[in-house]
Amino acid sequence: MKKAYVFPGQGSQFPGMAKELYDNIPAAKELLEKANDILGFRITDIMFNGSAEELKATKVTQPAIFLHSVVLAKCMKDFHPDMTAGHSLGEFSALAVSQAVSFENALKLVEIRAEEMQKCCEKVPGTMAAIIGLTNEQTEDICRSCSGIVIPANYNCDGQVVISGETDAVNEACGKAKEAGAKRAIPLQVGGAFHSPLMEPARIELGKAIEATEFKIPVCPVYQNVTALPTEDPAVIRKNLLAQLTSPVKWTHTVKNMMADGADYFMEIGPGKVLQGLINRISGGNVKIEGADTL
């Protein structure tokens, strides 16, 4: 049995996240306190006691989910993945647990990524929407037919693609998707147009930070969002990690490639159960799927 460990992205946060780990596992408490020091504020106070609204701020959400996922993985007694992947932000978690980048450096990159993405959201209004019930090709064609910037941002599973871009263009695409027979076209409550060209300004500072960060050969292959392919090459990891900011998350392709490479056991490590549901749909229920949000 080959084990694939996967890590969730933005949207999986919840009030009280990681508190049980902090309260019951000394190693988890030590890592979370180290994170408070690195970030320069007590993010644990927001994670444990903050409201859902406070946790939605990108600059809080991203490091909070990263911390919950990575701290949990580092405290697991039987953590021996054959391969890893993460959805969007979760790719940073996958790289940290596979030892391609240190916990401290990965957290700093996540902090910069979140701050720069937040700036983009404030400067350039944009949004996202989930298109349910069309093929990938239909959704791609609809995006190309719209005026303004709108592209597929997350290929979550067959029949579910999240689009991202300028608000008017996304709204136009939603209308066309319904005309084309989509079961649903759901506007998402997000701060901006993630994984679209509207995030381009964030590439500059994140690129500088990635270039200055040490990356090593991971202990197992990491399947990256941009290509959906495995790599252990630090130079490739760097390149793909930056490209991810403005490129689609190829999650459907990633899971299918992991299965083709022998994965028959998937564990989602971190808050929420979103990836478990997606993997179940992608695999047709033909793999074992479990979740871990605490020990």
Q: What CATH topology corresponds to 2-122+201-292?
A: Malonyl-Coenzyme A Acyl Carrier Protein; domain 2 (3.40.366)
Secondary structure (DSSP) of the chain: -EEEEEE--TT---TTTTHHHHHH-HHHHHHHHHHHHHHTS-HHHHHHH--HHHHTSHHHHHHHHHHHHHHHHHH-SS---SEEEESTTHHHHHHHHTTSS-HHHHHHHHHHHHHHHHHHHHHS--EEEEEESS-HHHHHHHHHHSSS-EEEEEEEETTEEEEEE-HHHHHHHHHHHHHTT-SEEEE---SS-TTSGGGTTHHHHHHHHHHHS-----SS-EE-TTT--EE--HHHHHHHHHHGGGS-B-HHHHHHHHHHTTEEEEEEESS-SHHHHHHHHHHTT-SEEEEES--
Q: Is 88 a catalytic residue?
A: yes
Query: Residue 124: what pLDDT?
Result: 85
| Residue of 12, 87, 93, 195 marked active site | 195
Query: Residue 89: what pLDDT?
Result: 97
Query: Residue 125: what pLDDT?
Result: 87
Query: Residue 57: what pLDDT?
Result: 87
In angstroms, the CA 97 to CA 103 distance is 8
In the chain, where the domains are located = 2-122+201-292, 125-187
Q: Is 12 a catalytic residue?
A: no
Query: Residue 194: what pLDDT?
Result: 96
Query: Residue 191: what pLDDT?
Result: 82
| Sign of the torsion formed by the C-alpha atoms of 173, 7, 21 and 63 | negative
Which pTM does this prediction carry?
0.96
Segment-wise mean pLDDT, segments of 10 residues, the chain, 295 residues: 95 95 97 98 97 91 97 94 98 98 98 95 92 98 97 97 97 98 93 94 96 98 98 98 97 98 98 96 96 84
CATH (residue range 125-187) = 3.30.70.250
Token couple for 128: 């996202």
| Residue of 12, 69, 88, 164 marked active site | 88
